[in-house]
């Protein structure tokens, strides 16, 4: 156990030196050691009767845990995928190419990592008409850190789209507007703080709404309702809100597209079960992916970064994700894995 704990410590302690992640070592090390100890104690009764088989089995489990820790910290957090989804919208011209919207969520910058450096090239390869940022720009542990803000600016400054870049704040404890607002505004990013704006994107009109999340979900829903009521008739409506928890209200309002993040898809998932924790009041109801209620489409991004504080900077069975939405038009199949509609029963 001492050797295994030492190996775990070496792995976690070298992550910052490798420029891969920048969390505290002690909390995840203690949690991982407690898990290893619990498994050893569970195997103790079997060892009294089948000493050699129990020892071999326990050793195999402990080795698997080491492999899992290495994979979750060294490999999966950097396997950024692009999820393509096509959503038809009758308010947009048809035939016409769809609007290409790229969503980045939960980047949680601490220091730039290989994952972050890969993002501008991936975004540019998608040729987006519009880029939206759905909150949690810095890690909780670095939410007022000048170096983290500078690295965030260096990253976002490499992004561009003809229709512009729009952003909303994430979790209030993570995104501090007085820290981030000057940096984002200097980059020309439009921050939708409880307001809406009509945008002309690739010659088409779009009503963009953004609401900052608070602990009062009912008040947040009232602000969304006010913004939706002001939408010009006949143009698509897009809601940016950090969490998916307003989906019932958005569906009741008939909002066309709702983009969210926050859940990280669970960040740690179990095969066959999915997210263990989501930080959503609905738990697994909107844990990740595409959902439909009424005529409203919701996409919940798994996000790109990792939780802060003492949480292990790891992902298990939940790789980071960039979302590419093809909205409306007549060529969805050429852009997305498959077109989806609310009649597909895609939940």
Residuewise pLDDT in 10s, the chain (347 residues): 788 889 999 999 999 999 999 999 999 999 999 998 888 887 677 655 666 776 788 888 899 999 999 999 999 999 999 999 999 999 998 888 999 999 999 999 999 999 999 999 999 999 999 999 999 999 999 999 999 999 999 999 999 999 999 999 999 999 999 999 999 999 999 999 999 999 999 889 999 999 999 999 999 999 999 999 999 999 999 999 999 999 999 999 999 999 999 999 999 999 999 999 999 999 999 999 999 999 999 999 999 999 988 889 999 999 999 999 999 976 555 455 554 556 544 44
**pTM flag (> 0.75):** yes
DSSP per position, 136-196 = --B-GGGTT-HHHHHHHHHHHTT---TT-EEE----TTT--HHHHHHHHHHTTPEE-SSEE
The matching CATH number, chosen from 3.20.20.80, 3.60.21.10, 3.50.50.60, 3.30.70.260, for 80-334 is 3.60.21.10
SS3 for 57?
Answer: helix
Per-domain residue ranges for the chain? 2-74, 80-334
Taking the CB of residue 245, how many other CB atoms lie within 10 A of it? 22
Task: List, in sequence order, the alpha helices (H) in the chain.
Answer: 2-17, 26-49, 51-74, 114-126, 146-156, 177-186, 217-229, 247-253
């Amino acid at each position: 156990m001492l050797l295994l704990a030492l190996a775990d410590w070496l792995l976690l302690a070298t992550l910052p030196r490798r420029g891969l992640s920048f969390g505290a070592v002690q909390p995840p090390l203690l949690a991982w050691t407690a898990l290893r100890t619990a498994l050893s104690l569970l195997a103790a009764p079997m060892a009294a009767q089948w000493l050699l088989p129990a020892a071999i089995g326990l050793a195999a489990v402990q080795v698997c845990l080491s492999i899992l820790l290495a994979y979750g910290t060294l490999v999966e957090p950097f396997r950024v995928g692009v999820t393509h989804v096509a959503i038809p919208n009758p308010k947009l011209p048809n035939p016409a190419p769809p609007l290409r919207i790229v969503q980045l969520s939960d980047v949680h910058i601490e220091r730039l990592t290989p994952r972050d450096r890969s993002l501008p090239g991936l975004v540019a390869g998608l040729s987006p008409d519009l880029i939206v940022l759905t909150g949690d720009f810095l890690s909780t542990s670095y939410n007022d850190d000048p170096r983290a803000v500078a690295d965030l600016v260096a990253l976002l400054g490499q992004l561009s789209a003809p229709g512009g870049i729009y952003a909303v704040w994430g979790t209030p404890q993570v995104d501090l507007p007085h820290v981030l607002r000057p940096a984002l505004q200097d980059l020309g990013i439009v921050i939708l703080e409880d307001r809406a704006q009509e945008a002309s994107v690739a010659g088409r009109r779009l009503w963009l709404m953004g609401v900052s999340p608070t602990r009062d979900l009912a008040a947040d829903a009232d602000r969304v309702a006010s913004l939706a009521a002001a939408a010009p008739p006949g143009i698509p409506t897009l809601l940016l809100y950090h969490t998916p928890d307003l989906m019932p209200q958005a569906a009741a309002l008939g909002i066309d597209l709702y983009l969210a993040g926050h859940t990280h898809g669970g960040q740690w998932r179990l095969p066959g079960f999915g997210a263990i924790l989501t930080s959503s009041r609905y738990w697994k109801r909107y844990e990740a992916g595409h959902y439909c209620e009424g005529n409203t489409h919701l996409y919940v991004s798994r996000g790109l970064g990792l939780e802060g504080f003492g949480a292990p900077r790891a992902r298990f069975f939940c790789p980071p994700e960039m979302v590419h939405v093809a909205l409306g038009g007549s060529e969805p199949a050429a852009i997305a894995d498959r077109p989806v509609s609310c009649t597909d029963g895609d939940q």
